[in-house]
Amino acid sequence: MDTGVDRLMLLVILSNLALLVAPRLGRAISLMALQGIFLGLLAIVAHSGTLTVRALVIGAAGFLVRGALFPLLLRRAAAQAGVVRDFRPLLGYVASALMGIVMLGGAMALGERLPLHLPEASKMILPASLFTIFTGLFLIVARRKALTQCLGYLVFENGIYGFGVATVAEVPALIELGALLDVLVAVLVMGIAAYRITEEFDHMDTVELTRLRG
Amino acid sequence: MGVLIALWAALVLPILGALLALPLRRPRSILRAGLGVALASCAVDVYLAVDAWRAGSVTAAGGWLYLDALSALHLGLLALVCGSSSLFALVYLGDEVRRDHLSARQARVFASLWCAALAAMTLLLVSNNLGLMWVGMETTTMATAFLIAIHVSRESLEAMWKYVLICSVGVGFAFMGTLLVAAAATSSLSPGSSLLWTNLVASAGLLDPRLMRAAVVFLLVGYGTKAGLAPMHNWLPDAHSQAPAPVSALFSGFMLNAALYCILRVLRIADAVPLCRGWSQSLLLGFGLLSLVIGAAFVMFQRDAKRLLAYCSVEHMGLIAIGFGLGGLGTFAALFHSLNHALAKTLAFFSVGRLGQSCGSHSIADMSGSVRVSPLWAAGLLAGMLALMGAAPSACFISELQILQAAFHRASAVAFVVLLLALAVAFVGMLRHALRLAWGRSARSTEEGEVPRRPYSSIERLLVAVPLALLIGLGLWLPAPLAHLIGAAANIVDGPRHASVVMIEQRDRPASASAEADPCRADDGPPVLVRGASVAPGEVHP
Amino acid sequence: MTLAAILNLTLAFLLAPLLAGVIARVKARVAGRRGQPLLQGYCDLLRLLRKGVVYSDTTTWIFRACPIVVLATAVTAVFLLPMGGEPAPVSFAADFVLLAYLLGLGRFFLISAALDTGSSFEGMGASRETFFATLAEPTFLLGVAALARKTGGLSLSTVLPAASPLAPEVGLIVLAFSIVLLCENARIPFDDPTTHLELTMVHEVMILDHSGPDLGLLLYASHLKLWLWSALVAGLATSPLVAPIWLRPVIAVAGTLVVAVGVGLVEALVPRLRLMRVPHLLATAAALAAVALILVVR
């Protein structure tokens, strides 16, 4: 736990724990934006010593898109739909915190077993990214509102981004930007879908979407 | 040279079509423009497929695009499914326009997204870079999302939401798997080329086996979600049943196969890595068995016709995955079954769509006794469903029999018994529904809401006759060129493992093909054995 | 027992009531008042010791034994406390378990006495106190386990001086322990020690029926507990400071007083939590301690 990158990853872990228990959508969106900023920093700092233009561009793109654009889109969608908080989530505060600790333990264990020789900067990048991925999946599964599920997907993508930094030194820039673009389109699609759902159903409680069965 | 032009045309033409459809005003012209360009693009795809197969393999864009027999087969499949679905969409949506159920805005959304999806799927099939393949898959998911909810309703929105969420997460997993493949290759390949499929296959012996195993798991789960393999299939019945019929046909007919194509590419790499050999195939076999069982079980008690066909897709995708998991004769049979399933499923979806338009709803109760409503499409539905359940003499019977043969020789006894039982259950379930749909008593009263039937257009007759003829024809006689193409594709999938399935005639390959050495043959022995001009289906031996 | 240990003990027993005065003074100052004298705690104790005692007819020997047991456990617990880098007068491997159980024993008797009175208010306080303790004790044990793993020692006396808060894990543990301090000592945001409404009390309502010297003993025991926890947190926070041997007790006492000032500030600035939110805050503390443990065990 000595290097700066280690502490950055600890901040990411704490932000995930905060996301798991945050009751209000606005706070959760801010936390996700913060995570995006941390991960953008990570992309620049992780391969220290080889600060290439490419790393800067991708890091900056990550910053802007994940730290600013996605929260903006999500906030707009939330304002349009009038969603403030996720009432009666499927797992409450204490249960979510407990699950968070279990997932953190799992992420640490899994991170040890994957033989990735890359992150000389820090041994914490992989576990922190895996934890972010698990947090995103948990939010998708254990929350009711459509927009919270969209938020969970964005956190999941944050984790995959960190995972990418931890596993591969150089994914071709085209692929990285393509992935970013695809996530952007996914957010737009989800935002529009959530809006349509709210219009049609007068709420966006996905637990109530049960007309198709069997 | 012509091949390269065709390649770029196949990628660019649909995008142009999407852009062309946007500024037009009237729904009918929008549909004609968009779908017309899609048809033209499908024609280009056929030309590209034939040319690529004749050339052996085609590389372009600095190694990022690559075509071999496997891509050619799937390009042909894409052209077949998308072409017939585009024709059907002209008829189906044309009818909706005539009844004022489709606004100009909806038509624009449909046409542009249809062409975008076609472009994305073509990109997926021709890419050599695993990352680019992933981009194509993700783009396909996003482009088809709104196609499901063209007609906004509670059910379609629910289906669309489930589709977007589940498939996005699945594709995210696939991205993680792609990253792990690149990580496995860092020690042996330079970063710029570490995701190129040809390089990965050639240097498979140097890949880190533990990372490859992790990668295979993630990729199977990720792309398996898009392929509708259980237990990740939950989005499939909803999405395929709520989408309009042409979209459902495209989904079931080709998109699921596209996801399996991605899995095949990965499995080919994993198969050449020591310690992964055989393990990935067993995993795929497991997924396939599970999908087959679940699909067959759920088919029994369906009440909605399109949902029934959707679960049937799950079942057949499971069957195809089992075939790939078995290898050897199983691979050949699985590829053949992809073709047959596409033919039968598109026919079935077309029929259900048209009959649904006539009857006003898609529930089986309402659509029973369809021969009295619309004999042509009822015949199409009955024939499609009979083919799907594997009745002779359709081609599906032959391919299913071959998969059973492969399972008998290679799979465990338990797996074989499960396979047989599942197929039997599916048969009973489908037959029950098929007979009821064709001749049963309808739940709706025959007096009201009876839309006077227009005489069938020639396109409609064509859309029923051609798949039917192909299904029965292929069941009786598999033409040599097709057998060779499928055999070559099977060889690519199996790699050095079972290089003796069906051998390809080497005589008519131009010499230029050997310059771009087919990496799959890098470590094979002398290639080949020549078979006769026409191969009867039963004579393909492992 | 070394001279320094005896000095630490004497300071603890003498200065414990001062902390309550400090907290009350800080609270008052922040609110713009002058506040009670710093030595008010001592005056309160002397006053209570001089008074007579009243026992209810419904109580049994448990009620009479409670203050004695509580004081005894608190005093014994102070013997286990290391201060200023000096080992505690009594220290052995896993002595923190004894510490936790001593405090638990005191709490058990407090709760039993509260139930013994047969009054519904005190029963309510007892149930709340049990509830909080269920969530707070594991946090303490998790935190100490993490510290023990990190420093390699098994006794509080070896663990506390060796754990530097500059490491992020220890920082997390300090945060978690601060929250547990507030909970164990019935401070805001868990419980308001100055409230007069029985429905909102937790700790105060349990000792509602005690009077005179009994109440004095219980009050002194709570002062000792506050000193114990504050010294723990201060010891963790100041462990990297290296000082000559005569300065160390001074630093320890100063640290403890600073913690008390911190508690006073929290009391003045933070509102009391709704009862339903209390588990949330304790779960947060437990989560922080668990994260620290996971990071250390990795």
Q: Give CA–CA dist B347/B333, Å, rounded.
A: 21
* Interface predicted TM-score (ipTM) of this complex, two decimals: 0.91
Interface contact C291-A93, CB threshold 8 A: no
pLDDT at B341: 95
Q: What is the pLDDT of residues B283-331, one digit of tens each?
A: 999 999 999 999 999 998 899 999 999 999 999 999 999 999 998 899 9
Per-residue confidence band for A172, with pLDDT thresholds at 50, 70 and 90: low
Chain A residues near residue B301 by CB distance under 8 angstroms = 214
The pLDDT assigned to B77 comes to: 94
Rank B62-66, B251-255, B392-396, C277-281 by mean pLDDT and report only the highest.
B251-255
Residue B266 is predicted with a pLDDT of 92
Residues near B508 by beta carbon (within 8 Å), at least 6 away in sequence: B54
Within B245-304, residue ranges assigned H as helices are 245-250, 256-271, 279-299
Q: In the structure, do chain B and chain A come into contact, i.e. share 3 or more CB pairs under 8 Å? A: yes
Element (H, E) at B59: strand B58-60
Alpha-carbon torsion (B86, B91, B93, B94), positive or negative? positive
Per-residue pLDDT, A170: 65
Q: What pLDDT, on a 0 to 100 scale, did the predictor assign at position C101?
A: 94
Whether residue B242 and residue A212 make contact (CB cut-off 8 A), yes or no, is yes
Q: Which of B132, B155, B176 has its CB closest to that of A212?
A: B155
Position C191 pLDDT exceeds 50: yes
Q: Residue C93: is its pLDDT beyond 60?
A: yes
Q: Which residue has the tokens 């977007």?
A: B164
A24 touches chain C (CB under 8 A): no
Average confidence (pLDDT) over B379-405: 92
Nearest to B192 by CA among C256, A168, A112: A168
pLDDT at B538: 40
Contact C283 A112 (CB under 8 A): no
Question: What are the tens digits of pLDDT across the range C119-141?
Answer: 888 888 898 889 889 989 999 99
- Say yes or no: A68 contacts chain B, CB-CB below 8 A: no
Q: CB-based contacts of C141: which residues, under 8 Å, 6+ apart?
A: C96, C97, C100
Please provide the distance, in angstroms rounded to a whole number, between the alpha carbons at the two ends of chain A: 50
Chains touching chain B through at least 3 C-beta pairs below 8 angstroms are A
Confidence of residue A117 (pLDDT cuts 50, 70, 90): low
The answer to whether B156 touches B242, Cβ cutoff 8 Å, is yes
3-state secondary structure string, B72-112? HHHHHHHHHHHHHHHHHHHHHHHHHHHCCCCCHHHHHHHHH
DSSP tag of A120: S
Average pLDDT score, chain B: 85
Kindly identify which residue of chain A lies nearest to residue C288, measuring between CA atoms: A14
The answer to whether residue B499 scores a pLDDT higher than 60 is no
Q: What is the pLDDT of residue B194?
A: 78
Give mean pLDDT, residues B12-16: 90
pLDDT, residue B530, reads 34
Nearest chain A residue to B191 by CA: give it: A170
Q: Which of A9, A91, A94 to mutate to test the interface with C (most CBs of C within 10 A)?
A: A94
Would you call C291 and A112 a contact, using CB atoms and an 8 Å cutoff?
no
Task: For B335-372, write each residue's pLDDT tens digit.
Answer: 999 999 999 999 999 999 999 988 888 888 888 888 88
What one-character DSSP code corresponds to residue B451?
A: P
The secondary structure element, H or E, covering residue B175 is helix B154-184
Identity of the highest mean pLDDT range in A42-56, B165-179, B184-198, B455-469: B165-179
pLDDT in tens, C244-278: 878 888 888 999 999 999 999 999 999 888 888 88
Considering CB atoms only, which of B158, B164, B298 is closest to A189? B164
Compute CA C289 distance to the chain's CA centroid, rounded to the nearest angstrom.
18
Q: Which of A209, A210, A213 should be substituted to probe chain B, the one whose Cβ sees the most B Cβ atoms within 10 Å?
A: A209
The domains of chain B are located at 1-128, 152-277, 299-443+457-542
Residue B539 has pLDDT above 60, yes or no: no
Q: What does the pLDDT read at residue B299? A: 92
Which residues of C sit within 8 Å Cβ distance of A? 167-169, 279-280, 283-284, 286-287, 290-291, 294-295, 298
| Cβ-Cβ contacts under 8 Å, A21 against chain C | 280, 283-284
State which H helix or E strand residue B66 sits in: strand B65-67
Chain C CB within 8 Å of residue A110 CB: no
pLDDT the model gives residue C207: 83
Q: Which helix (H) or strand (E) holds B12?
A: helix B2-21
Q: Report the chain A residue with the minimal C-alpha distance to residue B182.
A: A168
Contact list in C for residue A100 (CB cut-off 8 A) is 287
Contact state of A14 with C298 under an 8 Å Cβ cutoff: no
Flag whether pLDDT at B536 surpasses 50. no
- Does the beta-carbon distance from A171 to B168 stay under 8 Å? no
Locate the chain A residue with the closest alpha carbon to C150: A1
Lowest mean pLDDT across A95-104, C193-202, C278-287: C193-202
Question: Is pLDDT of B155 > 70?
Answer: yes
Measured CA to CA, the distance from residue B337 to residue C22 in angstroms comes to 83
Domain ranges of chain C: 3-297
Interface contact flag, C294 A104, Cβ < 8 Å: yes
- Tell whether the model's pLDDT for residue A192 goes beyond 90: no
pLDDT digits (tens, 9 = 90+) for B24-56: 888 888 888 899 999 999 999 999 999 888 888
Mean pLDDT of B442-454: 61
Please determine, for residue A91, whether its predicted confidence score (pLDDT) is greater than 60: yes
